[in-house]
Amino acid sequence: MVGEGTHTGVAGDGFIGVRGTTSSVQGQQQGVGVWAQAETPGSLALRADGPARFNGQAEFTGITAFSRSGVVTVRSGSKSVTTAGVALVPGTVILATLQRRVDQVYLHAVETDPAAGSFTISLTAAPHVDVPIGWFALG
C-alpha cells in the first residue's frame, strides 16, 4: 500500500493505528516492518507524540536529538550548577559527564528535584576554569 497526500499520506485509528510486519530476507538484508523516509531537507521521517516503547532492538543512525539532554557549565570557582526547566519524575536518572579534563576535579553527584523540575550537578572541587558537562535524562 502506498499513501500519498498534501498533509497526511497514511492515517490509522483504532487499537493499533498503523502496523507493519515483515517476514522476509533478501540476501544479507532483513526485511523492515515500517519504513519512514524524509526526502525534504529539514523534515522528519518519523515522529511520535506521547509515550513510545521499543520492544526488541532499535537502531538509530545519524544525528539523534533528545529534548531532555544538553550541556551545562560549572563556572570557574564554583563546585556545582543547577539546571531548571527539565521535565522530571521520581526515579528520573541524569547521566552526566565532564566535557573537559581538569586535574583533581571529578563529578561527585547529580541530585534531582522532580517537583521543581531541576537537577544539580556537583563536582569534588571548584575548578580553576569553566567546565562544560554533558547530561541526559532517563525515565
Pairwise CA distance, residues 23 & 31, whole Å: 7
Q: Is residue 40 part of a domain?
A: no
The larger pLDDT score, comparing residue 37 to residue 77, is at 77
Q: What residues are paired with 81 via a beta bridge?
A: 121
Q: What residues are paired with 20 via a beta bridge?
A: none
| Mean of per-residue pLDDT scores for the chain | 88
Which of 35-44, 91-100, 106-115 shows the lowest mean pLDDT across its residues? 35-44
Q: Is residue 96 part of a domain?
A: yes
Three-class secondary structure of residue 3 per DSSP: coil
pLDDT attached to residue 134? 98
- Above pLDDT 70, what percent of the chain? 94
Tens-digit pLDDT profile for residues 29-76: 778 888 788 888 888 877 778 888 888 888 888 888 888 999 999 999
Instruction: Tell me how far apart the terminal alpha carbons of the chain are, to the nearest angstrom.
Output: 36
Q: Is residue 115 part of a domain?
A: yes
Q: Is residue 19 part of a domain?
A: no
Print the domain residue range for 78. Answer: 69-138
pTM for the predicted model, two decimal places: 0.71
Cell reading at 91? 526515579
Cα-based distances in Å from 37 to 7, 34, 41, 52, 106? 15, 10, 11, 19, 42
The total number of structural domains that make up the chain: 1
Q: Is residue 28 part of a domain?
A: no
